[in-house]
Chains A and B, each alone.
Chain A
């Protein structure tokens, strides 16, 4: 399959429906139905559903660029979550609802739960669908919410890979915005991007963006559900990058970067919430550390080659 044939229409759909103004409107409580309907009618929600179950039958690695685009454009609805949920539900022979599905893997804030009609918990093999009972986080303009009382730990690896892909997309956009800003904003008689101190910061930002993208790709390489070690490497790397990317972007932008009207905040707030969701870098370091400690005689290079 030519992936460009899939990616281009998906990118156009997102750019049409999820403008910064539309994202802000959703965050302020506007009805999400028209936006959701556009995704629903596009057929992309079944991208990961097997072909014999009526989907496009994409692998997680194939769908990775689509999910990264959702992050890049800060789509405020659980489109990636729903893609994965619908694939798992179809695999288990459960009919999926038409509305947005968020994936809950713990007692912390669940990404997009405030925008969802249903929550997926359980495991990849035995997914459990419940109607949403979301409790607001109280965080300003949050689309995340608490969904207490559900057991979804077994879905944490797949949700971690999803979050890593979203982070990688958002981080790439933050890099582009920040480089453009550094080339436009002038101080001391020249663009700030000509200052070596700023250049060094932006180089570190670029390194982290590439590291996040490679980490997320590792998570997606082993399919649905991902291998535990791959998920750990993916979410550890992406979460580590997320905080640093947001911090450097804000530093380069100065005060305008923390203003409501400037779009960086839409991305930066997601980078932080996705970093914390489904296990931060510390959580996944612990998971991978346990796997590694179980094979102390194996050289590190062999361990990561087999991971």
Chain B
């Protein structure tokens, strides 16, 4: 799940939104078209995905972007589907957010296991490109683009959830310019599978200093002093973990970006994390299975068709909104408010899907329901609360939108 984080109170980042509300703030979102050269990627990518999922049962495909398969991630990297927005000089593909939209859409629609490369491809790569030193870029970005460096993000701590600025993990500068890291992270997605963590930690000051004194460090998870304990969730999966740091020695080049600027960097990163199509498609494997079920049992009554049409219509609008936010990224903007708005609506939809489909199926108790469909329904039902926790809770997002409206 990763990171129910971010109180988003950075004065720098909010300069745009704190200007008083004007008519038209939300009118930046308009219908956008994917470029034909990006659309053209679909057939070849589909063939690659079909190979990877041929033996995956539906309830595994319903894991959406939590399904882990390092070999598949490497295969995508070799075929040129990772590092899409990273420059070619760093081993990337040199395209942009629209290309990534197409690739992500294909992967999620099929239920491909993408967790391995997900965080590195979505946010760590762009973060290192933007804030990293030349040496860091040359080292990490080619590995990310090949699917060979898996990243996790260390934000939440036992007493720092939505109030991210309260993190207590601490890295103290050593005489050789390196760092000594102590503390604990929790709910860290894929920590046990990852090569590196980008951790938000305190490098100066105390808790009362809030956003100042925080920095981002790249932690090699093979270093001594690191203990990773997977946490099992209510579906039986262990996709997140606790990570303990006990006097972990870090080299001077572990710092990414500027010391003390970690908060600002994290906020920019969360805009990437919140704006993608993964915020509307988490339940789409279930929808497709239910559509096939309706066909198999020959159900065509008006209540069923209305529910089918309503879910389809809502997803069509959400897709256009997600594409519109992507177009803002393409234009070089950081659409923080728009991404928050889209994520809140999108995850609300994703969560409504299992509830509504569950009611539909259980309203027809004499109908035969495939056991795999039932298993998928219950998996999505149980995991759905995470959709509006990961990447910033509903309440935090609505606070951001409220500030965008000029309230408070």
Listed in ascending order, the chain A residues whose CB lies under 8 Å from chain B are 172, 175-176, 179, 182-183, 193-194, 196, 198-200, 202-204, 206-207, 209-211, 213-215, 217-218, 221, 232-233, 236-237, 240, 281-282, 284-293, 296-297, 299-305, 307
**B72 is an interface residue with CB less than 8 A from chain A:** no
CB-CB < 8 A to B401: which residues of A? 202-203, 206-207
In-complex Cβ contact of B402 among A200, A232, A282, A289 (8 A)? A200
CA distance A166 to B161 in the complex (A): 42
CA distance A284 to B309 in the complex (A): 8
CA distance A200 to B110 in the complex (A): 34
CA distance A299 to B319 in the complex (A): 14
CB of B315 within 8 A of CB of A304, answer: yes
In-complex Cβ contact of B341 among A176, A182, A210, A240 (8 A)? A210
CB-CB < 8 A to B404: which residues of A? 206
CB of B26 within 8 A of CB of A237, answer: no
CB of A289 within 8 A of CB of B312, answer: yes
CB of B308 within 8 A of CB of A293, answer: yes
In-complex Cβ contact of A289 among B295, B308, B398, B405 (8 A)? B308
CB of B281 within 8 A of CB of A301, answer: yes
CB of B408 within 8 A of CB of A199, answer: yes
CB of B405 within 8 A of CB of A300, answer: no
Q: Which residue in chain B gives the minimum CB-CB distance to A204?
A: B398
In-complex Cβ contact of A300 among B23, B284, B341 (8 A)? B284
CB-CB < 8 A to B397: which residues of A? 203
CA distance A240 to B108 in the complex (A): 27
Interface bin, chain B:
35 or more
Q: A214-B317, A293-B291, A304-B312 are in contact. List 8 more A-B contacts (CB 8 A).
A: A182-B407, A199-B407, A207-B345, A211-B321, A232-B313, A236-B310, A288-B309, A301-B105
Q: Given A203-B405, A207-B345, A281-B310, do A237 and B317 touch, yes or no (CB 8 Å)?
A: yes
CB of B304 within 8 A of CB of A183, answer: no
CB of A211 within 8 A of CB of B345, answer: yes
**B324 is an interface residue with CB less than 8 A from chain A:** yes
Listed by A's residue number, 28 A-B pairs whose Cβ atoms lie within 8 Å are A179-B406, A193-B407, A193-B408, A202-B401, A203-B397, A203-B405, A206-B26, A206-B405, A214-B29, A215-B317, A236-B309, A282-B306, A285-B307, A285-B308, A285-B310, A286-B302, A289-B305, A289-B308, A289-B312, A292-B312, A296-B292, A296-B295, A297-B295, A299-B109, A300-B312, A301-B284, A304-B312, A307-B316
CB of A214 within 8 A of CB of B345, answer: no
CB of B105 within 8 A of CB of A214, answer: no
Question: Which residue among B284, B316, B408 has the maximum number of chain A CB atoms within 10 Å of its CB?
Answer: B316
Instruction: Name the interface residues of B123-143: CB closer than 8 Å to any CB of A.
Output: none
CB of A290 within 8 A of CB of B305, answer: yes
CB of A218 within 8 A of CB of B291, answer: no
Interface of B: prevailing SS:
helix
- Proximity bits, B263-298, A CB within 8 Å = 1, else 0: 000000000000000000100100110011011000
In-complex Cβ contact of A286 among B23, B30, B305, B321 (8 A)? B305
**A-B residue pair count with CB separations less than 8 angstroms:** 163
Q: Which residue in chain A gives the minimum CB-CB distance to B23?
A: A176
CB-CB < 8 A to B23: which residues of A? 172, 176
Q: Which residue in chain B gives the minimum CB-CB distance to A229?
A: B316
Q: Given A200-B398, A207-B401, do A292 and B30 touch, yes or no (CB 8 Å)?
A: no
CB of A202 within 8 A of CB of B407, answer: yes
**B314 is an interface residue with CB less than 8 A from chain A:** yes
CB-CB nearest 6 A-B residue pairs: A289-B309, A289-B305, A296-B295, A288-B309, A199-B402, A285-B309
CB of B407 within 8 A of CB of A179, answer: yes
CB of A292 within 8 A of CB of B308, answer: yes
CA distance A84 to B270 in the complex (A): 44
CB-CB < 8 A to A175: which residues of B? 405
CB distance from A113 to the nearest CB of B (A): 28
Instruction: Name the interface residues of B307-343: CB closer than 8 Å to any CB of A.
Output: 307-310, 312-317, 319-321, 324, 341
CB distance from A5 to the nearest CB of B (A): 18
Q: Which residue in chain A gives the minimum CB-CB distance to B395?
A: A200
Q: Given A207-B345, A289-B309, do A183 and B407 touch, yes or no (CB 8 Å)?
A: yes
CB distance from B90 to the nearest CB of A (A): 31
CB of A214 within 8 A of CB of B31, answer: yes
CA distance A291 to B312 in the complex (A): 10
CB-CB < 8 A to A176: which residues of B? 23
Q: Which residue in chain A gives the minimum CB-CB distance to B24?
A: A172
CB of A300 within 8 A of CB of B31, answer: no
Q: Given A206-B341, A289-B304, do A284 and B109 touch, yes or no (CB 8 Å)?
A: no
CB of B399 within 8 A of CB of A196, answer: yes
Q: Which residue in chain B gives the minimum CB-CB distance to A305?
A: B319
Instruction: Name the interface residues of B357-408: CB closer than 8 Å to any CB of A.
Output: 395, 397-399, 401-402, 404-408
CB distance from B369 to the nearest CB of A (A): 16
CA distance A175 to B308 in the complex (A): 30
Q: Which residue in chain B gives the minimum CB-CB distance to A302?
A: B109
CA distance A284 to B310 in the complex (A): 8
CB distance from A96 to the nearest CB of B (A): 30
**B222 is an interface residue with CB less than 8 A from chain A:** no
CB-CB < 8 A to A200: which residues of B? 395, 398-399, 402
CB distance from A205 to the nearest CB of B (A): 9
Instruction: Name the interface residues of B152-190: CB closer than 8 Å to any CB of A.
Output: none
CB distance from B227 to the nearest CB of A (A): 38
CB-CB < 8 A to A291: which residues of B? 309
